[in-house]
Amino acid sequence: MPSKFHLIYQLAMMGAFDVLPQMVKTHGLVSRVGNRMRHKTVAAVSHVAKTYNGALYQDTPDRLVLENVVIPYYQLDPDVRNIVFVGCDWYTAGYERLFAHKKFWTIDPDIAKAGFGAARHQIAPMRNLAALMAEGQADLVVCNGVIGWGLNDHDEAEASFEAAWRILRPGGHLIVGFNDRPPHIPFHPDELAALARFEPFSFEPLAAHEHRVAHELCHVYRFYRKPVAGA
Ligand SMILES: C[S@@+](CC[C@H](N)C(=O)[O-])C[C@H]1O[C@@H](n2cnc3c(N)ncnc32)[C@H](O)[C@@H]1O
């Protein structure tokens, strides 16, 4: 009868302890339990985000600019009433409240994100913005963190910003936020003809058409306006 130490020695010699952690990680039961726990965590976070809208927020420098400078500015602008926010996630669940007293729409093709959207939410890609509202009805479209985060195809992006152009009124505002470094920059927004139709405008609180946030994701906010014919 081999002793316990002998058995452990034998197993060690066979390399069992090198592969054991890998076996535990990939064992069907262990990965099922892991997945279930992950789903339950996601479900719990989603529930909190939806129920206590805005209770959870993403504490990153780019989000601070969006939530403390950009959103309050438009919330207080009486000329901006109809707002479309493209792309949702747990940290955007409170944006409908931040835009209280406005008409607020959200759009995202991912059905799993619908719970984080507004009451007026469409499960659809940005290119279908016309399904949300009439031509010229929007005062502001915010497309933040979508290029390179699902909106990765150049032609799809052309169609998407074309759709934004159609729903915006002349003089309406478009904000494009993107990471100006790989892996989340499949193309540069400057390559888009649909975006070149908009005129850059200097966003008053930041005194610039482009604001670069100093952190590792190199997040950039660009401010555009649909020109007023003859202006
Ligand atoms: C990183 S999250 C950004 C969420 C939010 N817009 C923000 O302020 O950060 C990217 C979201 O964009 C959505 N998305 C990807 N492609 C899209 C498209 N073509 N139209 C609308 N939303 C899209 C994804 O489903 C995902 O929920």
The confidence score (pLDDT) of residue 55 equals 67
Structural domain contains residue 56: no
User: Position 130: which residue type?
Assistant: A
| 230: in domain | no
Residues 139 and 100 in one domain: yes
59 pLDDT tier (thresholds 50, 70, 90):
confident
Query: What kind and span of H or E run contains 82?
Result: strand 82-86
For 97, list phi and psi in degrees, rounded to 5.
-70, -40
More confident residue, 24 or 111: 111
Average pLDDT over every residue of 65-72: 97
Whether 145 is in a domain gets the answer: yes
Q: How many domains does the chain have?
A: 2
Whether residue 76 is contained in a domain is answered as yes
Distance 230 CA to ligand 1 centre (A): 34
pLDDT, tens digit, 9 for 90 and up, residues 119-151: 999 999 999 999 999 999 999 999 999 999 999
Task: Kindly report the protein residue whose alpha carbon is nearest to atom 26 of ligand 1.
Answer: 87
CATH number at residue 181: 3.40.50.150
> What is the distance in A from the centroid of ligand 1 to the CA of 89?
8
Residue 16 confidence (pLDDT): 60
Residue 24: is its pLDDT beyond 70? no
Same domain, 154 and 47: no
DSSP label at 227? P
Confidence at 1, pLDDT banded by 50, 70, 90 = low
Asked if the structure places residue 140 within a domain, the reply is: yes
Kindly report, residue by residue over 196-219, the tens digit of the pLDDT: 999 999 999 999 999 999 988 899
Share of the chain above pLDDT 90, in %: 70
What atom in ligand 1 is closest to the CA of residue 110? 25
Mutate to test the pocket of ligand 1, among 89, 132, 143 (most ligand atoms within 8 A of CB): 89
32 pLDDT more than 70: yes
What pLDDT is recorded for position 47? 72
Residue 228 DSSP class:
P
31 CA to middle of ligand 1, Å?
A: 28
Whether 173 and 198 map to the same domain: the answer is yes
Within 6 A (CB) of ligand 1 lie: 86-89, 92, 107-110, 113, 125-126, 144-146, 149-151, 160
**Tokens 């009451």 identify what position?**
119
Helices then strands (H, E): number in the chain? 8, 8
At 175, phi and psi to the nearest 5?
-115, 130
34 with 120, same domain: the answer is no
Query: How close is the Cα of 200 to the center of ligand 1, in Å?
Result: 23
Q: pLDDT-derived band of residue 223, with 50, 70 and 90 as boundaries? A: very high
The answer to whether residues 87 and 155 belong to one domain is: yes
pLDDT at 25 > cutoff 60? no
Give yes or no: residues 44 and 92 share one domain: no
In a domain, 231, yes or no: no
Please give the mean pLDDT across all residues of the chain.
89
User: Looking at the structure, do residues 190 and 217 belong to the same domain, yes or no?
Assistant: yes
Give pTM, 2 decimals: 0.83
142 CA distance to ligand 1 centroid (A)? Answer: 11
Question: From CA 213, how far away is CA 218, in angstroms rounded?
Answer: 6
Tell me if residue 131 falls in helix, strand or coil. Answer: helix
pLDDT of residue 164: 98
Domain residues for 45? 4-51
pLDDT of 168 reads 98
What the block records as the tokens of 157 is 């992006």
Of the listed ranges 9-23, 102-116, 144-158, 178-192, the least confidently predicted one is 9-23
pLDDT in tens, 180-196: 999 999 999 999 999 99
Helix runs in the chain, H state only:
4-13, 16-26, 28-51, 61-65, 71-75, 95-98, 154-167, 193-196
Residue 22 has pLDDT above 70, yes or no: no
Q: Mean pLDDT across the stretch 50-60?
A: 73
The pLDDT value recorded for residue 216 is 87
| Mutate-to-test residue for ligand 1 from 146, 153, 158, 174, highest number of ligand atoms within 8 A of CB | 146
182 part of a folded domain: yes
